[in-house]
């Protein structure tokens, strides 16, 4: 019983550290008119509603690494913009244009993703005019 509890604590801690800021936010949590660019390695890509998530491991500029949690549009919207559930693979290098969170946490809102080969994954497909 005690062992099980210990394992649960370890697993729980691992989950928490693996998913920084993986709470669901409204767009109002981000500075949507500001876009910054970060490049890093995909640690996880969560294809789920109401928002997708990219967990990105980025150099912190001090010789270390830091994880960013970047919230993206819903799977339905991204499918129509050309994404799939397998668009991002763990371990691949990507560049993300994103709006930073108002609270200064290491989270952002995706504006677009650019893969290493230059492929652009946008937030929306061509205008339906």
Partner 1 sequence: MSTPRYVVSMLCLIAFTCAALHAQSTPPDFSGVYYPINPFGAAALGRGAPPADAKGKQKGPPPRPTQSAPLSDGSQGRSPDAPSLTPAYMAKWEIIRKSRMAGSSEYDNTAKCLPPGMPAMMSMAYGMEVMQNKDKITFFSELNDALRRVYLDGRKPTQKILDDPTYAGYSTGHWEGDTLVVDTVALHEASFIEGFSPHSDAMTVKERIRFLSPGLLEDRIAVTDPKALTKPWETVKTYRRATSGNDELREFACAEGLGDAK
Which residues make up the interface to partner 1 (CB under 8 A)? Answer: 22-30, 32-33, 35, 37, 48-51, 74-77, 79-82, 97-99, 101-103, 108-112, 118, 120, 122-129
User: 20, 15, 60: which is closest to 40 by C-alpha?
Assistant: 60
Q: State which residue, 6 or 116, has the beta carbon closest to partner 1.
A: 116
Q: Which is nearer to partner 1, 48 or 65 (CB)?
A: 48
User: Which tokens is 50 given?
Assistant: 């109401």
Fill in the DSSP letter of residue 8: H
Minimum distance from CB of 27 to partner 1 (Å)? 4
Nearest to 37 by CA among 120, 126, 125, 124: 120
Closer of 30 and 68 to partner 1 (Cβ): 30
Task: List phi, psi (to 5°) of 13.
Answer: -65, -40
- CB nearer partner 1, residue 20 or residue 108: 108
Residues 74, 80: Cα–Cα separation, whole Å: 10
Q: Least distance in Å: CB of 64 to partner 1?
A: 27
């Amino acid at each position: 019983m005690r062992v099980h509890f210990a394992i649960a604590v370890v697993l729980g801690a691992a989950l928490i550290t693996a998913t920084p800021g993986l709470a669901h936010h409204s767009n109002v949590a981000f500075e949507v008119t500001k876009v910054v660019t970060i490049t890093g390695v995909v640690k996880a890509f969560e294809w789920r509603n109401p928002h997708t998530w990219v967990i990105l491991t980025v150099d912190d500029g001090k010789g270390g690494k830091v994880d960013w949690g970047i919230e993206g549009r819903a799977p339905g919207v991204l499918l129509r913009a050309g994404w799939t559930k397998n668009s991002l693979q763990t371990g691949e290098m990507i560049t993300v244009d994103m709006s930073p969170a108002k609270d200064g946490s290491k989270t952002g809102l995706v504006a677009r993703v650019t893969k290493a080969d230059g492929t652009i994954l946008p937030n929306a497909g061509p205008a339906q005019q």
